[in-house]
Amino acid sequence: MQDINLAVCGHAGHGKSTLIGKAVTEFEMVTQKQLDLAREAAKAGKDPSYVFANLVFRSKKVKAASEAARGITYQTAIIRFNLQDRRITAIDTPGQADYTNNLFLGMFQADGALLLVSANNGIRPVTEQILRILVGFQIPLLGVSVTKMDRVDYSKDVYEVLVDDIRQKLDSFGIDHSKVVFFPTSAYESGRDIMEAGEGLRQYRRIDWFKGPTFEDFMNTLDFEKIRPATPMRAVVHPTDAYDNVPGIGKCITALVETGSITPGTKLVFEPVSREMGKQVTADVRSIELTRGHIATPGIPIPEGKPRQLVGVALSRMSVDGGLRDIFKGRGIVIGTVEHPPNTAQTFIVELTVFDSKISVRVGEEWVMHAHLDHVTITIEEIMAYRFQSESEWMQGEYDTISAGDWGRMRVTAHRPVALEQAADLPYLSRVVIRFGSKAVAFGRCVEILDDKV
């Protein structure tokens, strides 16, 4: 069973929540009671697009009612589609410019992205923000859906012109679109019964000129192994998910497997605590089981933990004494194998873009940097190159400030080691976020670790 996180993103009003909500009904993922409530809401005059969006917002515990009422998303929502031999976790991201912070945090955990662009509105400012995030985090763009085709009378010409425009925009951001899947959709047309099948979700009727995939076809062709090629095992542990005296087990951690697989008998190594102690902190894997919220029943032992699985790992023969939480010291811990340990960095080069219009990043400043579940204070030591957001080429020279919208390649020093990978090796563990207080203001990736070069 493959498990893929797919960010569904697009400008506000381009139909993200409506598309996912309509798919939820067509894929029979809601109860009869929920369908009846949706029909009643539509009969009472509620905008059908809001009705479908509410089927997405139902997964949230807060602010769901106000989001559905306003027909916008300002928090991410998670909808899981079980299709054939894969589970696609669709991350419905905000499209409002005011909620870019949430958009960008939702995309942080994505394996790939589906971009939605409405046929009657085209490329908009948030569309371009999304493309910046894809570049900054090295998230592969897997598909583009031209939505709301009913608003342009299902016109083939309009679709083809817009696809050409989108391809040109992707070129301007340096995004390879040779393997991107493009397809038209119309989740709902005004005046139709809300439960009538949409166009392009599972079939095409009005769009009879298009012979390509539907939304369902697109998701069924996603291949985790192509999105994330096989690499050395990496899993991320939060320090609060470490226990010393689990009845019948003893020491145990909960970890999200990012790459490779973890099996009983594997000798693990923990970073960055190994580097801080000056010796490898290791333990053997005694057993593995799935944890709550995953695809199988929790508590059942499994032979291996695979990417995207949240697993409980029972440990034996810990190489150092003491409680796990004391050893981890509040760090976000990355685990690998003794043969292929995680990389750590204290001096490294990042490529960052500042997206908060009120913020600039300057040489000599200190910021809090987040990487996976860890956070550490960093100092900007040097801006080595600069790139304007409208340009594709880096400019070499002496710079002291990165302004909003632009990119900087900069050398930074962390106040302590952090487990971090280079983007060319493991892009999903190279992603970093810069925060000002609780607000994310810049993002990017580590491109080179300099610890052995300075």
Predicted confidence (pLDDT) at residue 444 exceeds the cutoff of 70: yes
Determine which of 171-185, 284-298, 338-352, 368-382 has the lowest per-residue pLDDT on average: 284-298
**Of 64-78, 87-101, 220-234, 375-389, which one has max mean pLDDT?**
375-389
- Return the pLDDT at 296: 46
Mean pLDDT of 296-310: 76
Q: Is the pLDDT of residue 159 over 60?
A: yes
pLDDT tier at 45, thresholds 50, 70, 90: low
pLDDT, one tens digit per residue, over 242-268 is 889 888 888 999 998 988 999 999 999
Is pLDDT of 113 > 90? yes
Contact residues for 66 (Cβ-Cβ < 8 A; gap 6+): none
Report pLDDT for 292.
59
> Which pLDDT value is given to residue 391?
72
Mean pLDDT, the chain, whole residue set: 85
- Mean local confidence (pLDDT), 446-450: 96
Containing 231, the helix (H) or strand (E) segment is none
Q: Which of 117, 48, 81, 319 is nearest to 218 (CA)?
A: 81
Can you read off the two tokens belonging to residue 100?
């870019």
* Domain range list for the chain: 2-227, 234-337, 344-449
Tens-place pLDDT, residues 400-434 = 999 888 899 999 999 999 999 999 999 889 999 99
Name the range with the highest mean pLDDT among 123-137, 143-157, 283-297, 303-317. Answer: 143-157
Task: Tell me how long the chain is.
Answer: 454
What's the pLDDT score for residue 66? 39
Report DSSP letters for 56-104, one per residue. Answer: HHTT-SSSHHHHHHHT---S-EEEEEEETTEEEEEEE----GGGHHHHH
Q: pLDDT, tens digit, for every residue of 335-344?
A: 999 999 999 9
Secondary structure element (H or E) that encloses residue 75, with its range: none
Lowest mean pLDDT among 24-33, 151-160, 370-379, 380-389: 24-33
Cβ neighbours of residue 377 under 8 Å, at least 6 residues apart?
Answer: 366, 367, 368, 369, 414, 415
Give the pLDDT score at 358.
84
d(CA 352, CA 336): 27
Element (H, E) at 196: none
More confident residue, 286 or 25: 286
| Residue 300: per-residue pLDDT | 76
Same fold, 2-227 and 344-449: no
The letter for the amino acid at 101 is: N
Strand spans (E) along 221-309: 234-246, 250-259, 267-271, 282-290
C-alpha distance from residue 66 to each of 62, 70, 203 (Å) = 9, 6, 32
- Most confident among 121-125, 161-165, 406-410, 442-446 (mean pLDDT): 161-165
Q: What is the crossing angle of helices 16-26 and 48-57, to 10°? A: 80
Task: Say yes or no to pLDDT of 26 above 50.
Answer: yes
CB 114 within 8 A of CB 8: yes
This prediction has a pTM of: 0.81
Smallest Cα–Cα separation from 110: which of 125, 95, 129, 130?
Answer: 130
How open is the CA angle 344-349-353, to the nearest 5 degrees? 120
Q: Write out pLDDT tens, residues 213-247.
A: 999 999 999 988 888 777 899 999 977 788 898 88
The CB density around residue 192, as the number of other CB atoms within 10 Å, is 13
pLDDT computed for residue 202 by the predictor: 94
Task: Retrieve residue 87's tokens.
Answer: 């589970």
3-class secondary structure, 164: helix
Q: Assign 387 a pLDDT band (cuts: 50, 70, 90).
A: confident
Q: What CATH fold (topology level) applies to the domain 344-449?
A: Elongation Factor Tu (Ef-tu); domain 3 (2.40.30)
In this predicted structure, the answer to whether residue 450 has a pLDDT above a threshold of 60 is yes
CATH for 234-337 (2.40.128.20, 3.40.190.290, 2.40.30.10, 3.40.50.620) = 2.40.30.10
- The pLDDT score that the predictor gives to residue 60 is 41
Query: 109-123, 221-235, 356-370, 371-385 — which is least confidently predicted?
Result: 221-235
User: DSSP code of 138?
Assistant: T
Per-residue pLDDT, 294 = 47
Better pLDDT: 16 or 170: 170
CATH code of the region 2-227: 3.40.50.300
What does the alpha-carbon distance between residue 290 and residue 60 come to, in Å, rounded to a whole number?
23
Two structure tokens written together for 379: 């100092």
**Could you give phi then psi for residue 199, rounded to 5 degrees?**
-90, 125
